[in-house]
Structure 1
Amino acid sequence: GYVFVVDLILCGAGSMDLISCTIAAFAGRGDEVLGTSYAYNFAASAAARVGAAYIKAAEHDFTVSTDSILAAVTPATRIVFVCNPGNPTGTGIRNAELLRLRAALAQDVLLVIDQAYGEFDDQDPGPIFALVARGDTVVLRTLSKAYGLAGARVGWGVFPPSVAAEVRKMQNSNQVTMASLAMAVAAVEDQAYMR
């Protein structure tokens, strides 16, 4: 039983559009987007499109390091982008490390947790989704992986309302087709098949 005051956004292009729109809404020239050595590289491309620098914090054994991320934060850091489980490494960190990271970051630094492979993680996702209610964290998911709907290109994210309002300004309003939406609804309603 969690209760959240958050917004859910659906998007086309898996979660790629949400990554791109979030970075465009909250970073620009002179800003930094901080990722990790082996994180999904699309975040670097999205940062480059808006003129923000993409900085890579070191990973240890292909695994995200909270300490490395915190050591790489500067006054120019606007977004910290973390893939957990890692994409493409498949490694993961415990929820406690993500909670520690969020607690140590300044409130004006947006934490984006990309959980494209979240269904393959045995941890309870509740504590990570609960971070969104703080107003400074976004959690992204996709139906492209565990649900097998890569061709449908449907991603989703959980956003604080104020963040969602800015991200929606960057989105194409006609991006999820009716066929893709029908497939997404059917897939989500059949959790037994997905498992």
Structure 2
Amino acid sequence: MIKVLLADDQQLFRDLLSFMLTNIDDIEVVGKAKNGDEAIRLAKTEAVDVILMDIEMPETNGIEAIRSIKAYSEAIKILVLSSSSDIDNVSDAIDLGADGYVLKDIKTEELANAIRGVHSGLEVVHKNVREQFNQGKKRPVRKNRDKTLVTVHGFEIELSKRDIEVIQMIVDGKTNKEMAGELFLAEGRVRNIITEIISKLMLKDRTQLAVFAIKNKLVT
């Protein structure tokens, strides 16, 4: 069960969001905060896995709350849920340690997937935010030459060079044992890598993974 804290200055929005998330089996709302100060306090006193954080709040805003909470615990994941796609806001949030940034027009199931994504260690950025950045100078996603970005259900997911190697072998029809030999890894480790890739891409099995990879031209 993913324990979620809601931080937003609009009570109606907090209550509606709480109601929607309550109907999702693997997510539990454990607290609500009306400003950054309350979010910081609850992050320290409640067992919280993920915080849905608005940016524009009175007293202490979301940016300052992100700074304080991440200084207190890197383990707490923060997913910004805002109506603002302002380049500076997104950059500040990501730079201070936010694990994702989505907009309030997001669908409920997409939001649930985003929560699951940041909880599992992914950096999640909604497509509408990404499009804003494509027109600007800054980019909210941390990249390097060993990473491949792929869009899944409107979110950008990072795949490592090793992930791509494993996907290529799956497409080529190789067994776990064959992959282990070529990658100089234990067969159990290969199995774990495949499970992690399938999970982060929100797929069901290696057959879906192979189809997804070919369709999205991840492999040759």
Per the shorter chain, which TM-score range?
0.3 to 0.5
Where relative contact order (Cα < 8 A, 6+ residues apart) is larger, the structure is: 1
Determine which structure has the larger helix proportion and give its number. Answer: 2
Report the TM-score when normalising by structure 1: 0.43
